[in-house]
């Protein structure tokens, strides 16, 4: 890395308010050529907003931006691209119904439209993928690709536009472990080519793994910029939360809370090719963890139990009674709730108020005993907002204006509010900050302690090991192992079981 060169990007004294709400306060941030600079902070701290200013999506109120030492005004996304600033992942910018090649060369520039559908576009896309050392068929529609390849397509798109700076906003939130490894290797190659990378993440292990420096924002102010060689994880966490944080991932034995009563009994459940003859039992008070690789059938299993996917065989019994669950509505009526993995697509109406989103599944309950009053909706919403520490300027604000992590809290709060007998959660802590994560895990325990049953999917094994009483390992749509928590000595053991080696 040249030490005398100007930073690829430098932001000085950036200020930004939304209405009366100051979101960025005098923030300095820079990233050098060939550097990975991690950006961390609680949900709502201002990370995405700072990067959206760099991309021309939002305008700063004050401050300066320099690209390779020269001051620039980034008035819109077009100007950002011209300055060599590439895309973000927290919200995808791809058009699913177009092909990979079309997306890679799709820009706002009308002159480039000529390229689309051209075999030349396909060829150039192939060339970029070759340079990235990844394999994607440019003629495929984006919607037919797994999420991991959407990201690679976004990176290719940025490189096609000659980006010198790439902004990655929680790129691994939806990736399986081996896919994340692929991304890290790609980041190394991009660094070696002199690309500067801003890496937003809530995962400490990743930050240490790939970043050179870290900047922490708290409540819109910069509270730390350090080389990762000279800072401990404890110091980073303290900067993020502003106080000493305790370790929350220890396993607590809950065997005294689990009863003999079987609440859910699934026998030989099949749904399409991805779920075959799955049998399981969940007891009252129990937390059952589901482990497995991407595509192992974890999401398909909870979707089948929630009536999203139609089972093609097998039986589901709740409290001993056999049920046909053919829709989510029916599942909810029978006391089953699912907090889905793709929360932004399935869980929220982004244009509606936080209050409406929080109380949507509760409308019947709130209506009971008379008219549905706005007062009741507001009171219930405020209760959930308080419980989850959701950062919203006011309860009636659009959900779409909340930070990514706070949107996730809204979905979780919404489903917990329904008071289900059986709560299923698919990756509930992806994208939420460290403090909130331990709050969610503690809440999962409390829910089970109160006599409910929980089924939890998580790709973060320390988290799964911390709360699960039993873990089912799925592989290729089948249960490959059922392990009591005390049969699992450590994370490596579970990792091997998931890979199918143990």
Ligand X SMILES: Nc1ncnc2c1ncn2[C@@H]1O[C@H](COP(=O)(O)OP(=O)(O)OP(=O)(O)O)[C@@H](O)[C@H]1O
Binding site for ligand X (CB under 6 A): 18, 23, 41, 43-49, 391, 401-406, 433
> Residue 25: which of ligand X, Mg ion, none does it interact with, CB under 5 to 8 A by kind?
none
> Residue 103: which of ligand X, Mg ion, none does it interact with, CB under 5 to 8 A by kind?
none
| DSSP string for residues in 66-115 | EETTEEE---SHHHHHHTTB---SSS----TTSBHHHHHH--S-GGGGGG
Contact partners, residue 287, CB within 8 Å, separation at least 6:
254, 444, 445, 448, 453, 454, 456, 467, 468, 469, 470
> Residue 422: which of ligand X, Mg ion, none does it interact with, CB under 5 to 8 A by kind?
none
Residue nearest to Mg ion (CB): 48
Task: Work out whether 404 is an interface residue with Mg ion (CB under 5 A).
Answer: yes
> Residue 436: which of ligand X, Mg ion, none does it interact with, CB under 5 to 8 A by kind?
none
> Residue 46: which of ligand X, Mg ion, none does it interact with, CB under 5 to 8 A by kind?
ligand X
Task: Work out whether 55 is an interface residue with Mg ion (CB under 5 A).
Answer: no
Contact partners, residue 301, CB within 8 Å, separation at least 6:
269, 275, 278, 290, 474
Instruction: Indicate the residue among 7 and 44 with the shorter CB distance to ligand X.
Output: 44
Supply the DSSP symbol for 325.
Answer: -
Give min distance, CB of 156 to Mg ion, in A.
23
Instruction: Indicate the residue among 276 and 357 with the shorter CB distance to ligand X.
Output: 357
Contact present, 162 and 138 (Cβ < 8 Å): no
Give min distance, CB of 318 to ligand X, in A.
35
Cβ of 409: how many Cβ atoms within 10 Å? 28
Give min distance, CB of 21 to ligand X, in A.
6
Instruction: Indicate the residue among 153 and 408 with the shorter CB distance to ligand X.
Output: 408
Candidate list 30, 48, 438, 466; residue touching Mg ion; CB under 5 A: 48
Contact present, 496 and 502 (Cβ < 8 Å): yes
Give min distance, CB of 157 to ligand X, in A.
22
Cβ of 294: how many Cβ atoms within 10 Å? 16
Measure the CA–CA gap between 500 and 497, rounded to whole angstroms. 5
Give min distance, CB of 255 to ligand X, in A.
35
> Residue 406: which of ligand X, Mg ion, none does it interact with, CB under 5 to 8 A by kind?
ligand X
Residue nearest to ligand X (CB): 405
Instruction: Indicate the residue among 89 and 306 with the shorter CB distance to Mg ion.
Output: 89
Instruction: Indicate the residue among 18 and 113 with the shorter CB distance to Mg ion.
Output: 18
Give min distance, CB of 56 to ligand X, in A.
14
Measure the CA–CA gap between 458 and 454, rounded to whole angstroms. 13
Instruction: Indicate the residue among 359 and 406 with the shorter CB distance to ligand X.
Output: 406
Contact stretch for Mg ion (CB under 5 A) within 44-52, 151-159, 290-298, 350-358 = 44-52
SS3 of 380, please? helix
Q: What is the CA radius of gyration of the chain?
A: 24
Give min distance, CB of 437 to ligand X, in A.
11
> Residue 419: which of Mg ion, ligand X, none does it interact with, CB under 5 to 8 A by kind?
none
Measure the CA–CA gap between 83 and 74, rounded to whole angstroms. 8
Measure the CA–CA gap between 142 and 155, rounded to whole angstroms. 14
Give min distance, CB of 393 to ligand X, in A.
7
Instruction: Indicate the residue among 132 and 223 with the shorter CB distance to ligand X.
Output: 223
Instruction: Indicate the residue among 306 and 388 with the shorter CB distance to ligand X.
Output: 388
Residue 388, both tokens = 């989850």
> Residue 44: which of ligand X, Mg ion, none does it interact with, CB under 5 to 8 A by kind?
ligand X
Cβ of 445: how many Cβ atoms within 10 Å? 16
Measure the CA–CA gap between 44 and 485, rounded to whole angstroms. 35
Give min distance, CB of 45 to Mg ion, in A.
8
Instruction: Indicate the residue among 46 and 347 with the shorter CB distance to ligand X.
Output: 46
Report which of 399, 404, 380 is spatially closest to residue 171, judged by C-alpha positions: 404
| DSSP string for residues in 154-211 | HHHHHHHTT-SEEEEESTTTT--HHHHHHHHHHHHHHHHTT-EEEEE-S-HHHHHHH-
Contact present, 188 and 36 (Cβ < 8 Å): no
Instruction: Indicate the residue among 63 and 314 with the shorter CB distance to ligand X.
Output: 63
Give min distance, CB of 167 to Mg ion, in A.
11
Q: Which helix (H) or strand (E) holds 218?
A: strand 213-218
Residue 272, both tokens = 């399409």
Binding mask 161-200 for Mg ion (x = CB under 5 A): ----------------------------------------
Contact stretch for Mg ion (CB under 5 A) within 62-70, 272-280, 400-408, 485-493 = 400-408
Contact present, 136 and 100 (Cβ < 8 Å): yes
Give min distance, CB of 429 to Mg ion, in A.
15
Report which of 345, 340, 339 is spatially closest to residue 447, judged by C-alpha positions: 339
Instruction: Indicate the residue among 41 and 477 with the shorter CB distance to ligand X.
Output: 41
Instruction: Indicate the residue among 48 and 381 with the shorter CB distance to Mg ion.
Output: 48
Give min distance, CB of 16 to ligand X, in A.
8
Q: Which helix (H) or strand (E) holds 338?
A: strand 336-339
Contact stretch for Mg ion (CB under 5 A) within 40-48, 188-196, 234-242, 368-376 = 40-48
Which residues would be at the binding site for Mg ion (CB under 5 A)? 48, 403-404
């Amino acid at each position: 890395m040249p030490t005398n060169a100007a930073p690829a990007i430098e932001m000085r004294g950036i200020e930004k308010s939304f209405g009366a709400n100051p979101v960025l306060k005098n923030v300095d941030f820079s990233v050098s050529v060939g550097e990975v600079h991690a950006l961390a902070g609680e949900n709502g701290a201002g990370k995405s907003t700072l990067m959206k200013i760099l991309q021309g999506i939002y305008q700063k109120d004050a401050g300066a931006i320099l690209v390779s030492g020269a001051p620039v005004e980034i008035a819109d996304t077009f100007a950002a691209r011209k300055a060599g600033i590439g895309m973000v992942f927290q919200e995808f910018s791809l058009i699913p119904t177009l092909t990979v090649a079309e997306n890679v060369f799709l820009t706002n520039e009308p002159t480039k439209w000529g390229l689309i559908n051209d075999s030349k576009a396909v060829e150039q896309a192939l060339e970029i993928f070759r340079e990235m050392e990844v394999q994607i068929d440019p003629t495929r529609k984006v919607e037919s690709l797994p999420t991991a390849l959407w990201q690679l397509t976004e990176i290719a798109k940025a490189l096609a536009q000659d980006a010198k700076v790439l902004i990655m906003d929680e790129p691994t939130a939806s990736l399986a472990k081996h896919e994340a490894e692929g991304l890290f290797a790609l980041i190394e190659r991009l660094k070696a080519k002199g690309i500067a990378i801003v890496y937003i993440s809530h995962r400490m292990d990743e930050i240490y793994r790939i970043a050179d420096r870290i900047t922490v924002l708290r409540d819109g102010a910069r509270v730390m910029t350090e080389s990762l060689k000279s800072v401990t994880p404890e110091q980073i966490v303290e900067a993020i939360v502003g106080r000493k944080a305790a370790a929350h991932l220890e396993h607590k034995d809950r065997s005294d809370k689990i009863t003999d009563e079987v609440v859910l009994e699934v026998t030989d459940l099949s749904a399409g090719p991805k779920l075959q003859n799955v049998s399981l039992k969940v007891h009252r008070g129990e937390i059952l963890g589901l482990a497995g690789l991407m595509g192992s059938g974890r999401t398909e299993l909870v979707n089948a139990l929630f009536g999203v996917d139609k089972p093609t065989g097998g039986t589901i019994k709740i409290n001993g009674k056999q049920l046909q669950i053919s829709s989510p509505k029916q599942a909810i009526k029978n006391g089953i709730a699912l907090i889905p993995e793709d929360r932004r697509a399935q869980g929220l109406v982004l244009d509606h108020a936080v209050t409406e989103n929080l109380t949507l599944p509760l409308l019947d309950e709130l209506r009971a005993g008379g008219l549905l009053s706005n007062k009741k909706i507001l009171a219930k919403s405020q209760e959930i907002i308080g419980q989850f520490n959701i950062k919203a300027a006011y309860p009636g604000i659009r959900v779409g204006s909340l930070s990514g992590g706070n949107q996730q809290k809204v979905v979780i709060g919404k489903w917990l509010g329904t008071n289900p007998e059986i709560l299923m959660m698919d990756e509930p802590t992806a994208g939420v900050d460290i403090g909130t994560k331990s709050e969610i895990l503690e809440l999962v325990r409390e829910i089970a302690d109160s006599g409910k049953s929980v089924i939890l999917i998580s790709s973060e094994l320390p988290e799964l090991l911390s709360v699960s009483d039993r873990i089912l390992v799925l592989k290729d749509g089948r249960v490959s192992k059922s392990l009591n928590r005390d049969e699992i000595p450590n994370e490596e053991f579970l990792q091997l079981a998931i890979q199918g080696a143990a």
